[in-house]
């Protein structure tokens, strides 16, 4: 994906949605599993890898370090026998914050890392102080110089780390740093998102000693060496949640396959409160849309709470509900960049502090709207599916970062949506 293509989606709204959609592997799991391979020399296979812009970005970064990365029919092959550079340049990191995940493994395996600070994102500051504090506690010397984290250490030493905030990224980095440390590390208030639990399981498959995977207290007994391993990436619960919301908006019946229903509990509970009927199978969920949507408040929180990565999509749903609801985000206080664009489609929404007050309306009308970030753009697509007339969602490269062939999947459900190639620059 060399040049920047400003594709747009053109949606002719109001079509009922019916049918089956297969959910891809999880972006946020893949982006942690790929750097974990830096912890050992060998050949790894990640099955069920999604074809996404962010996976390409991580692949490009790891290749600069000497890693062989090949994606073939959703199987990612990583060859780490040639890794010989320990730097994540700004040019890569500025494209994707998750690049910071190379910090822990590089430090643990090679005793040094030079990683660009990620900087801000579309919806405000997203500091990495917890990552830095944790590696310092494990004994690393860390300098911040010219926008880079420069870290070095002999062998890291186990330590007790208590996070003030439950952070997905900081937990992942600390876990990957601690598996090769001398002695035992305890992480308290660790994140328990499914993507972190899968990372812990993957590290255990590589020979790591970790107790408490899936809980907020992780105990890691460092080992001298790890080996290569294979894994099947879990399904993407945020892509699944996005399609369930599309189903609830689509006045029909939609079935998701290849999902982990347990990971969707919070979203499914709210959809039932809004009136949807759900049938849950071992790896499927069928949603029958209600004739009318009830207004339902949500507060985005850490797992297993309602995910912040679903709050924009929920806003789109509530924009056409029968009444007023409030969407609050307790993780990111300013993740409401989609609201002015939704108002362009006729939504009646007011933002106060970290909450959106949504007065549902039965009538959205198509317009040109601008994507600002991954989940915001998903919410604009959802709103465009119910808006009367034509909606143009501009700058969909944001979507390609985290949704594999979203327009094809939605079209297969009966939507009238088309990707229109824009000018190249």
Q: Rule CB under 6 A: which residues touch ligand EPZ?
A: 27-28, 31, 97-98, 126-131, 165, 167-170, 191, 195, 308-309, 331-332, 374-375, 402
**Closest CB to ligand EPZ among 31 and 394?**
31
131 φ, ψ to 5°?
Answer: -60, -45
| Annotation marks residue 121 as catalytic | yes
Which burial class, exposed, middle or buried, applies to 319 when counting CB atoms under 10 A from its CB (0-12, 13-18, 19+)? buried
**Closest CB to ligand EPZ among 36 and 320?**
36
| Catalytic residue of the set 6, 71, 121, 204 | 121
- State how far the Cα of 219 lies from the Cα of 2, in Å rounded to an integer: 42
Tokens at 143, concatenated: 């300098």
CB half-sphere exposure, 199, CA atoms < 13 A: 36
- State how far the Cα of 25 lies from the Cα of 288, in Å rounded to an integer: 24
- State how far the Cα of 418 lies from the Cα of 25, in Å rounded to an integer: 24
Nearest of 90, 69, 85, 78 to residue 40 by alpha carbon: 78
Nearest of 95, 52, 96 to residue 76 by alpha carbon: 52
For the bound state, the minimum distance from the C-beta of residue 169 to ligand EPZ, rounded and expressed in Å, comes to 3
**Closest CB to ligand EPZ among 195 and 341?**
195
**Closest CB to ligand EPZ among 201 and 388?**
201
Polymer length in residues for the chain: 425
For the bound state, the minimum distance from the C-beta of residue 338 to ligand EPZ, rounded and expressed in Å, comes to 12
The three-class DSSP label of residue 222 is coil
For the bound state, the minimum distance from the C-beta of residue 307 to ligand EPZ, rounded and expressed in Å, comes to 6
Contacts of 2 (CB under 8 A, 6+ apart): none
For the bound state, the minimum distance from the C-beta of residue 291 to ligand EPZ, rounded and expressed in Å, comes to 31
For the bound state, the minimum distance from the C-beta of residue 86 to ligand EPZ, rounded and expressed in Å, comes to 21
For the bound state, the minimum distance from the C-beta of residue 203 to ligand EPZ, rounded and expressed in Å, comes to 16
- State how far the Cα of 386 lies from the Cα of 415, in Å rounded to an integer: 10
Beta-bridge partners for 393: 9, 369
Residue at token pair 């801000």? 120
**Closest CB to ligand EPZ among 374 and 386?**
374
**Closest CB to ligand EPZ among 35 and 360?**
35
Sheet containing 298-300, strands listed edge to edge, beginning at the edge strand earlier in sequence: 298-300, 324-329, 355-359, 348-352
Residues known to be catalytic: 121
């Amino acid at each position: 994906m060399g040049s920047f293509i400003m594709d747009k989606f053109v949606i002719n709204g109001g079509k009922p949605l019916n049918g089956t959609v297969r959910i891809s592997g999880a972006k946020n799991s893949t982006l942690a599993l790929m750097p974990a391979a830096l912890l050992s020399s060998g050949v790894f296979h990640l099955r069920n890898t999604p074809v996404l812009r962010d996976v390409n970005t991580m692949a490009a970064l790891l290749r600069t370090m000497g890693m062989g990365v090949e994606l073939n029919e959703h199987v990612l092959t990583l060859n780490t026998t040639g890794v010989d550079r320990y730097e994540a340049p700004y040019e890569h990191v500025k494209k994707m914050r998750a690049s910071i995940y190379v910090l822990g493994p590089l430090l643990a395996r090679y005793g040094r890392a030079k990683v660009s600070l990620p900087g801000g994102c579309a919806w405000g500051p997203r500091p990495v102080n917890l990552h830095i504090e944790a590696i310092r506690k494990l004994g690393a010397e860390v300098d911040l110089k010219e926008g880079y984290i420069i870290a070095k250490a002999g062998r890291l030493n186990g330590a007790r780390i208590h996070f003030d905030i439950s952070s997905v990224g900081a937990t992942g980095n600390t876990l990957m740093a601690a598996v090769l440390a001398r002695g035992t590390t305890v992480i308290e208030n660790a994140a328990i998102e499914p993507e972190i639990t899968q990372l812990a399981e993957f590290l255990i498959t590589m020979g790591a000693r970790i107790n408490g995977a899936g809980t907020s207290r992780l105990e890691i007994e460092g080992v001298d060496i790890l080996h290569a391993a294979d894994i099947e990436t879990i399904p993407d619960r945020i892509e699944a949640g996005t399609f369930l919301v599309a189903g609830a908006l689509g006045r029909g019946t939609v079935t998701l396959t290849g999902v982990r229903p347990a990971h969707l509990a919070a979203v499914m509970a709210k959809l039932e409160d809004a009136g949807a009927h759900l049938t849950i199978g071992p790896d499927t969920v069928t949603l029958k849309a209600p004739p009318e949507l009830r207004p339902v408040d949500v507060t985005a929180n850490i797992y297993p709470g309602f995910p912040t990565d679903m709050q924009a999509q929920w806003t789109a749903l509530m924009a056409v509900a029968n009444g007023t609801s409030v969407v609050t985000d307790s993780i990111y206080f300013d993740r409401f960049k989609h609201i002015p664009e939704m108002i362009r489609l006729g939504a009646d929404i007011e933002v106060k502090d970290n909450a959106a007050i949504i007065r549902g309306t039965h009538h959205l009308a198509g317009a040109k709207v601008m994507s600002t970030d991954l989940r915001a753009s998903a919410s604009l697509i959802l709103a465009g599916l119910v808006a009367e007339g034509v909606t143009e969602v501009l700058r969909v490269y944001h979507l390609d970062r985290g949704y594999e062939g979203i327009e094809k999947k939605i079209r297969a459900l009966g939507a009238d949506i088309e990707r229109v190639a824009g000018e190249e620059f």
